[in-house]
A and B are shown apart, each in its own frame.
Chain A
Amino acid sequence: MTASQDRAPVDVSLGLFDQDLLAACISCGFCLPACPTYQLTLDERSSPRGRITLMRAVDSGRLPADDPTVLEQSSYCLGCRACEPVCPAGVQYGALLEQWRDLTWSGARTPPVAAALRAGMRMTPALAAAGRVRGAARTTGRARGDGVQLMLGCVERSLFPGVSQAVTRLLPGIEVPSGQGCCGALHAHSGGSTEGHHLAERLGEALPGTILTTAGGCAAHLVNVLGRDRVHELSEHLVDVWSASEAPALTDVRVGGRRARVALQDSCHLRNGLGTSAQPRDLVARVADYVELPSAGACCGGAGTYSLLRPDDAAAVVAPKLDEVESLDLDYLVVVNPVCQRQLVTALRRRGSRVRVVHLAELLALALPT
């Protein structure tokens, strides 16, 4: 092994990444403090800047795509995109990560759990059946036009059927078209960006109007593929429609005779990808005493398939957040994404916490007059 000096490295690209996206990073390192895995390790390899340096090495052929560090770091990244809003150079890290995972999680290198989930979420009839069995909102038949149409999601339908139920109570008469499958966010984030793109387009055909989603992660992916005009995340939609027309008379959510104390966990892709963070806070504050969780904007470790693929790392990411939640004397912790809901329900239960984790829709439904 000899020391190589490369004062004028003219990398010849193999065309594995979008060159404009890759060139945007100037390695200033302003992203380091925002990155959860860098904060845990203080290791350049586990930082957005370090990962982009690795991507560049792969793109120029200096490192093979199956280099062990390349594989490990593309997997260890949460994909939370917290590096994007703090990047003065405007690097689109999320898009780069999708391209990276297409390379590192392809074929036999795909983690089995990710492969299984990608296959499962492809099966629209099975998703529909699971949703029916679990009691998610009933579909209203084929899409009728181009109004607002509720998307049921793939994970949420089975795991948290009460969420879509709650939306139908908050927005009576909302259309819930049948025949909807997965939006493909899960695929795009785990090595199948082409399929993720196709699934989003297919969902856009099943829901030809404005797609209303209760999941921040799905919203960001759908916006990527279908455009901002076609997608409304629930909190955005409620703030919009309730200021334009008559909002339902909401009461206070009360616990033990007083107004409930409620904090929010942001959805990373909703906050970092779409820049939406004020609306869910606004809505919570309408029905309860809003308490800002200091780490609200930091990833909970759910991160798509992350908590299934890397449970120990997911636990390390969420641990400091659990301490915060416990110290704030909360009644509810509100989420706006089903993966966060699963991660936080599980983690707080394991800890024996009395704080209840609910989706924003569920909290607001509690405030509807009975």
Chain B
Amino acid sequence: MSTSVVRGVGLTPEILDRLREIVGAEHVLTTDGDVEPFSRDATPLFRARPDAVVLPATTAEVADVLRLATETGTPVVPRGGGSNLAAGTVAERGGIVLVLTRMTVVQEVSADELLAVVQAGVTTSTLADAASARGLLYPPDPGSRTVSTVGGNVATCAGGLRGLKYGVTRNYVLGLEVVLPTGEVIRTGGRLWKDVAGYDLTRLLTGSEGTLGVITEVTVGLLPMPETSRTGIAYFDSLADAGRAVTAIIAGGTLPATLEFLDRACIGAVEDFAHLGLDRDAGALLLFGDDGSPRDVVESLDRMAAACTANGARGIELATDVAGSEDLLAARRCSLPALSRLAPVTMLEDVTVPRPQIARMVDDIEEIARRHDVVCATFGHAGDGNLHPTIVFDADDHDARRRAEAAFDEVFGRAIALGGTITGEHGVGAAKLPWLAQRLGADQLALLRRVKAAFDPAGILNPGKLGS
């Protein structure tokens, strides 16, 4: 069976009628104007018109929609907050965009069991706030946390600023309610940290990018809220210097909650938006922070500041309170959109390398950008080797766009050569699919296809992406 033949060629009136019966007529959108806002996500240069947008309210409705889709061979692309950066939610083969933002119930936050159960459409911030209200921490904090949904976070295994110390979304997903493309509702995992009954489908589905099943409910593990947290900034002459400081910090035995860096262009763009008084003259900025008991946090920040100084920091500033720290982190989360102030098209990538290779990768990115004559700014999660080189250009500058694509092609190759990967946290989607074989090799790619076929025999879920 081939999954590549599935292509939405317009939905018949019968299919549309059945969709309306399932979710209610007002939750099936088909007109040009109504579907246009769902024709793209946060990825530049990708857009496709879905045949219909369907907004279910319950798991049962999702199951009915998927059963119908499998029966009729209709593509279905699940979508949460639409903040995907790899065109993972763009309906390139038409069909149905299945939007889960109506499923917004926080079902449970248990301080006794240190877990929460939420519907897929709950935003990451809402989950974090609900946990925080009970004195608990949901650590994954992708930059898009106020917009992105927990379902979308699981589907892409979203990362964030706390990856080094706390890991990423996969480290907190205990259980899932998932609707299979054929309509069965299954529950993987559950409320247990220890559970080895069967293949770990929870982890397989985490990061599956809406190609294996539609996640409708998520059970996440939580941690006790650290007593306090604090953040500081160190300025360097170059990003590579900051990279060396990162290596020194971790080699010194500190595992900080936050280690983020921005190059000069990013500092300027973030400062234009946030007005924090950042030093625009510095070549790079390292945002470092930790959480824990007040004494531990002070010690940890002192150690990190000392490591920065020893590695050529030209200035260090410590936030004086938690609010100041939050301002710094909030500004960092805005790096990407703030960079769009430089030019209309902002192509962002997501390569990740082993931590000791950061300084080298950063140097290589700068060299590649110079050679291809592109404007490139880089920021990223230094602590986990996850870099976001961002190339900006004008929409109608086709030559710049071609040069950007050529530069990124080299950047991907370089990352893989250094033992890294083409995407750390944004996903493969449609945007990075051309490089997936280079990363995984033919045998693994073939296995992905067999896994996909086992879940989705008709090939209806997010066709043309992972596993197709």
Complexed CA–CA distance, A33 and B41 (Å): 16
CB pair B39 A53 closer than 8 Å: yes
Among B11, B42, B121, the most chain A Cβ lie within 10 Å of the Cβ of: B42
Q: Which of B45, B81, B121, B395 contacts A23 (CB 8 A)?
A: B395
Q: Which of A26, A32, A54 contacts B33 (CB 8 A)?
A: A54
CB pair B144 A30 closer than 8 Å: yes
1-46 of chain A: CB within 8 A of chain B: 1-10, 23-24, 26-30, 32-33, 42-45
CB pair B338 A89 closer than 8 Å: yes
- How many Å from the CB of A271 to the closest CB on chain B? 16
Q: Is the interface of A mostly helix, strand, loop or mixed?
A: loop
Asked if A112 lies at the interface with its beta carbon under 8 angstroms from chain B, I say no
Among B44, B45, B47, B270, the most chain A Cβ lie within 10 Å of the Cβ of: B47
CB pair B81 A62 closer than 8 Å: no
Asked if A324 lies at the interface with its beta carbon under 8 angstroms from chain B, I say no
Known: A28-B83, A69-B36. Is A7-B10 also a contact (CB below 8 A)?
A: no
Known: A9-B45, A23-B395, A30-B334. Is A2-B36 also a contact (CB below 8 A)?
A: no
- How many Å from the CB of A254 to the closest CB on chain B? 34
Known: A26-B42, A62-B36. Is A2-B9 also a contact (CB below 8 A)?
A: yes
Asked if B188 lies at the interface with its beta carbon under 8 angstroms from chain A, I say no
CB pair B42 A27 closer than 8 Å: yes
Complexed CA–CA distance, A94 and B166 (Å): 40
Among B9, B32, B91, B144, the most chain A Cβ lie within 10 Å of the Cβ of: B32
Asked if A240 lies at the interface with its beta carbon under 8 angstroms from chain B, I say no
Asked if B325 lies at the interface with its beta carbon under 8 angstroms from chain A, I say no
Q: Which residues of B contact A87 (CB under 8 A)?
A: 337
Give a binary string over B32-51; 1 marks a CB under 8 Å from any A CB, 0 the rest: 11101111111011111111
Known: A9-B45, A53-B37, A53-B39. Is A90-B31 also a contact (CB below 8 A)?
A: no
Q: Which residues of B contact A50 (CB under 8 A)?
A: 37
- How many Å from the CB of B27 to the closest CB on chain A? 10
Asked if A326 lies at the interface with its beta carbon under 8 angstroms from chain B, I say no
Asked if A68 lies at the interface with its beta carbon under 8 angstroms from chain B, I say yes
CB pair B396 A10 closer than 8 Å: yes
CB pair B47 A9 closer than 8 Å: yes
Q: Which residues of B contact A8 (CB under 8 A)?
A: 45
- How many Å from the CB of B270 to the closest CB on chain A? 8
Q: Which residues of B contact A29 (CB under 8 A)?
A: 42, 81-83, 144, 147
CB pair A7 B46 closer than 8 Å: yes
Asked if B231 lies at the interface with its beta carbon under 8 angstroms from chain A, I say no
CB pair A5 B33 closer than 8 Å: no
CB pair A69 B341 closer than 8 Å: no
Q: Which residues of B contact A42 (CB under 8 A)?
A: 101-102, 104, 121
In this complex, what residue of A is CB-closest to B83? A29
Complexed CA–CA distance, A53 and B48 (Å): 13
Q: Which residues of A contact B210 (CB under 8 A)?
A: none
Q: Which residues of B contact A23 (CB under 8 A)?
A: 344, 395
CB pair A6 B147 closer than 8 Å: no
Asked if B273 lies at the interface with its beta carbon under 8 angstroms from chain A, I say yes
Known: A3-B91, A28-B144, A88-B338. Is A53-B40 also a contact (CB below 8 A)?
A: yes
Asked if A283 lies at the interface with its beta carbon under 8 angstroms from chain B, I say no
Q: Which residues of A contact B10 (CB under 8 A)?
A: 1-3
152-192 of chain B: CB within 8 A of chain A: none
Asked if B230 lies at the interface with its beta carbon under 8 angstroms from chain A, I say no
CB pair B94 A70 closer than 8 Å: no
Q: Which residues of B contact A9 (CB under 8 A)?
A: 45, 47
Q: Which residues of B contact A3 (CB under 8 A)?
A: 7-10, 48-51, 91, 93-95
CB pair B37 A24 closer than 8 Å: no
Complexed CA–CA distance, A62 and B48 (Å): 12
Among A26, A42, A51, the most chain B Cβ lie within 10 Å of the Cβ of: A26
Known: A1-B10, A54-B36, A88-B273. Is A26-B44 also a contact (CB below 8 A)?
A: yes
Complexed CA–CA distance, A44 and B8 (Å): 22
Query: Given known contacts A27-B82, A87-B337, A89-B340, what 6 new A-B pairs fall within 8 Å (CB)?
Result: A1-B51, A3-B9, A3-B91, A5-B93, A26-B42, A88-B273
Interchain residue pairs A-B with the least CB separation, the first 9: A3-B94, A69-B33, A50-B37, A23-B344, A88-B337, A88-B334, A67-B33, A29-B147, A1-B10
Interface residues, chain A, CB within 8 Å of chain B?
Answer: 1-10, 23-24, 26-30, 32-33, 42-45, 47, 49-51, 53-54, 57, 62-63, 67-70, 87-90
5 A-B pairs with CB atoms under 8 Å apart are: A3-B8, A30-B146, A33-B146, A44-B101, A69-B36
